[in-house]
A and B are shown apart, each in its own frame.
Chain A
């Protein structure tokens, strides 16, 4: 079992809809959770991080963390074509110093 799992997609949503991206992790001691966005041919860029259970909102983005169920999700409200990218979930597992473990990513397409 991979440590960090994401649905590879592709996930397609119409413009203006809510896109929901999910990630599960296997290490119960995981402490920090990150969402990166990666446009085709570009490097990953951080869009959200969350450390505590619950929701964290930043503009159109909301990260949700449920440590009991070992999942973290990213909601994108009012999706725009410019949100079309691959979204990578990353987890800092317990005892991993400053290492992150990445999921394989979910490809999102927002249709105009």
Chain B
């Protein structure tokens, strides 16, 4: 049982490049989330997916797109990376009757 996995772990991009961050969970959870974490700002929600086939914007969605490929996978795409998107990105999932979120190991992204 791997829990929540994310790829890649580290990435350096140049301004204007695009990339997709991958997330997968093997806990049969319905809901999945993408956060970014910047120093002193806690976790901010980018997008979430309450269930397969649905996605909704969070607090900071500008510059990002998401795809809920199936129940297991939820990807985050940066179409044209900007230095302001330099951050640590966490994927999380939750299922069952509780609201506990399980987090992946994170992707450390630097945009030059």
Choose from A42, A45, A92 the contact partner of B99 (Cβ within 8 Å). Answer: A92
Given A43-B106, A46-B100: A98 in contact with B94 (beta carbons within 8 A): yes
- Find out whether the CB atom of B43 lies under 8 angstroms from the CB atom of A88: yes
B48 touches A102 (CB 8 A): no
Bound complex: CA A44 to CA B69 (Å): 25
Contacts of A97 in B (CB 8 A): 31, 50
5 further contact pairs, Cβ within 8 A, besides A98-B50, A102-B35: A43-B106, A90-B101, A99-B33, A99-B58, A100-B101
* Chain B residues with CB under 8 A of A92: 99
Interface size range on B against A: 20 to 34
B48, B100, B105: the one contacting A99 at CB < 8 Å is: B48
CB distance from A3 to the nearest CB of B (A): 10
Instruction: Give Cα distance in the complex from A99 to B49, angstroms.
Output: 10
A 40-51 to B, binary, CB cutoff 8 A, 1 in contact else 0: 001111100100
Q: Which B residues fall within an 8 A CB radius of A?
A: 31, 33, 35, 40-45, 48, 50, 58, 90, 94, 98-106
Most buried by B among A8, A32, A98, A105: A98
Interface residues of A, Cβ cutoff 8 Å to B: 4, 8, 32, 34, 42-46, 49, 88, 90, 92, 97-100, 102-105
B100 pairs with A34, CB closer than 8 A = yes
Residues in A whose Cβ lies below 8 Å from that of B40: 8, 104
